[in-house]
Each structure stands twice: as structure tokens, then as C-alpha cells.
Amino acid sequence: MFIRLVEAGVRTNDTAKLENIYRELIIPVLEDTNGCIFAGLLKNLEQPKQYISLTIWNTENTAGDYVESGAFDKNVNRIRPLLEDSAEWKIQLSRDNMIEYSPVSSSPVVKSYPVEEDESPITEKVSTGRSYLRIISFKIKEGAQKEFSAIYTSEILPELKKLEGCKYAFLVDNSGNGGEMLSISIWDSLEHINQYEEKGTADGFLGKVRHTLGDLYQWKMELDKSSTSRTITSQDLGVDKYTLVTGKKFRQ
């Protein structure tokens, strides 16, 4: 199983146009594409101009064939006039207290990940109706990827799946790209996600793997203990919540 996440920011007045284009033009193309078994458009709940196209493929090769065929570029060109021109800059504080700036691209950002399936395939749990996703990005320190994965798989995921409202959860290993790991969970409602966070369950799970996170994150945590301001680094945890605007499962 292989997933692709295509992230893009859209101008405020064009969100409805994007959703319609995805539903009426992009999904039919993906339905006719060999190897694509699900396509869905996710909308960021806290940044409503930010969207993710989530596609699930039977193999990495079929996802690659889709890109090589030019169909992906054609789909991007359908929405390109709607994309937000970004003047935003990402700011982080380095370990020697120097401020570092890097521009944020306004073009779609593509991330692709292999997924190890368990006894309950993800395609059976991803709903084409209203559902919510919580995606958290971890930056793991060098040499700790196996330990993080073992703890998360054996101690966190089984408990996470038992929580009320959590329909499915899985770990995506992208450690070859900057030590990134993604935890993706699918929920019945936003209220269930909020309960998970507000009751401290999410923090409890984080505590189990905190020691495996990157050195810059560890340094930031120590610095924040003695400071009234929050330090921003490139290894901060990224937690985002999305709702599925439209989606469809395909028979392959």
C-alpha cells in the first residue's frame, strides 16, 4: 500500500471552486487510473485555505506511473489558477540563537509514503462520508527510528485504536527524508479528537516517545522551560486536523 499527500493553499474566494473541480474532474481521472484505490480532498480545520489531496495506491509503482504519464501535472494545472500566491516565510531559531528564514512555496507540495497494512486494511476504514483526520509529524533523531517505530507500534497504536471515536490509525515511515514519521488517525467527529487532546491522552502517548525526538526539539524543550516565550524550530511537532470534503473508493 502506498499513499500520496499533495498539499496546497487556495485563495479564500476559490475554496468552493477547488472542491468542485476535485469532485467533478480530478476524482474521475483517478478512478480511471490503474492502481488508485481511493482519492479524497481534505480541508484543514484551523487553516481553511489549506487542502490535502490524499490518494491511496496498491503499489508505489502504480503511483509513479500516474506521475510519469503526465496525468498528475494535468490535474495540478486544473487547480493552479486557484492557488494562493504566498509571501509567507518560515522562521526558526537555530541552536546558536541565529534566526533562520526560508520561503514557503505556493506550489503544491507532494509527499509519498509506503504504508504497512495490518489485519484491517486502511481502505476499509477510510470513509467517503464525513470523517476527520489528525496528522502529526515527528522528526526523529538519527539512530532512533527503529526505537520510535517499535514503541509507537506496540504501545501507542493499539491503545489509540481503542479510543472512542477513533476508526483507524497507522504510522507512516518517512525517516529516510529528514527523519520524519507520520501518525495518521481517522475519527468519527472533531469532538472525539478534542477529547483525546484535552484529557491528556495525546500528551501521554507523546511522553512515551519524547526521548527519541530530534536533538533540536530536545534543546527547544529545555529552552522553553526557562523562557516565557515559545521557541520555534524545524523539528517542532506538526499537528493538523482535517475534514474529508469529498472522496471516493475505487475498485481495482
Tell me the pLDDT tens digit for each residue of 54-93: 888 888 899 999 999 999 999 999 998 898 764 444 444 4
Torsion of CA 188, 8, 37, 159, to 10 degrees: -40
For the chain, the domains span: 2-249
* Residues 123-158: tens digit of each pLDDT: 555 555 567 888 888 888 888 888 988 999 999 988
pLDDT beyond 60 at 51:
yes
Higher pLDDT, 118 or 152: 152
Higher pLDDT, 41 or 110: 41
Domain over 2-249 is classified CATH 3.30.70.100: yes
| Secondary structure class of 137 (helix, strand, coil) | strand
**pLDDT confidence band for 171 (50 / 70 / 90):** confident
pLDDT for the residue 3: 85
Q: What is the mean pLDDT of the chain?
A: 77
Among residues of the chain, what percentage have pLDDT more than 70? 69
pLDDT for the residue 128: 53
Instruction: Tell me the whole-structure pTM to 2 decimals.
Output: 0.71
Give me the count of residues in the chain: 252
User: Within 10 Å of residue 224's Cβ, how many Cβ atoms?
Assistant: 12
Nearest to 134 by CA among 79, 175, 192, 82: 192
| Secondary structure class of 180 (helix, strand, coil) | strand
